[in-house]
Amino acid sequence: MRVNTNMVPDILADLQQSQATLNIALQEVSTGKSVSQPSDNPAASAEMVSNTLETANVDQYTNNITNVLANVQQASSALSSVATALTQAVSLGTEGANSTNSSTSLSALAQQVQSILSAVVSDANTSVSGVYLFGGTATGAAPYTADSSSSTGYAYNGNDDSNSVAIGDNLSIQVNLPGSQIFSNSSNNVIGALSSLVSALQSGDTSQISAATSAVSSAINYVSQAQGFYSNAESQLNSQETYLQQDTVTLTTQENNLVGVDEAQAATELSQAETANSAILAAAAKVLPNTLLNYLSVPS
């Protein structure tokens, strides 16, 4: 039987293979993935390109929803506060339309309605993290400011546009109404109706008080319609967020199926690779020095 005296190439090859196996095992345990480059699994890598792109889109849509949902909820809350304030103003106007009121009583009622007007304007200037909700697309400044030249006492500084956000593939949703449509609409002017009621109470004219009170009552219905818009927007956003969460689970599962590893199995394979690598290193430590001495030995 022939004995191979040149064991160096075989041992070095075994060492190289053992180290490569160990490196792969270490990488799988540390990353949780079986594919780190396209050559590891070309088919899975190709499918992962599509998975990665879709995941990025889903993440963006989810972020869009997160960014606007709080604004929609806050706008709805502000309008609820406005509706409550207007209901109170109607009650005060109805009381003021009674011809038995003294000038002192009417003046006190006028002051109360003026306070309500100020509160409504404050609600119209609601902001979230510096973003004003009722300025249309002009979100950087308060929509309403005091203006003595205006018949209502206030000027609208926003625009008549609205904001929309993408929440899915080919799916966008309008997420706000401009203040000019809610608070200073020509047909249902919330601020104007309250301002007129203040003036009517100050004048003491019961017919004017009744007309202004009726205008405020109509404004309540209009604000309720705006509340309905925000309620529907919130419902759509929540529904789409739930869908995207499910989509995220599906994409994550697909990714795991394509390139994921079984953690327990990966840990076992790593342990085996470490054991095998240690054994080869130990064998090499014993064999290689003697083999090298054979190479270096000179016949006497």
Candidates 217, 153, 151; CA nearest to 190 is 217
CA distance 264 to 243: 32
Kindly give the confidence (pLDDT) of every residue in the chain, 300 residues in length, as a single tens digit, with 9 standing for 90 and above: 444 555 566 666 655 665 556 566 556 545 656 555 555 567 676 777 887 899 999 999 999 999 999 999 999 999 999 999 999 999 999 999 988 889 999 999 999 999 999 999 999 999 999 999 999 999 999 999 999 999 999 999 999 999 999 999 999 999 999 999 999 998 889 999 999 999 999 999 999 999 999 999 999 999 999 999 999 999 999 999 999 999 999 988 877 766 555 455 656 655 665 676 676 666 666 666 655 445 445 554
Q: Nearest 5°: phi and psi at 52?
A: -65, -40
Q: Residue 284's pLDDT is what?
A: 65
Q: What pLDDT does residue 1 have? A: 45
**Rounded Cα distance, 176 and 127, in Å:** 13
- Report yes or no: 220 and 86 within 8 Å, Cβ to Cβ: yes
Write down the pTM of the prediction: 0.72
Cβ atoms of 28 and 266 closer than 8 Å: yes
Predicted pLDDT at 254: 79
Identify the pLDDT of residue 56.
95
- Going along the chain from its start, the domains and CATH numbers come out as 52-254 (1.20.1330.10)
Q: Give, in order, the Cα–Cα distances in Å from 37 to each of 138, 259, 263.
A: 47, 10, 20
**Where does 97-205 have alpha helices with state H?**
103-124, 179-182, 190-203
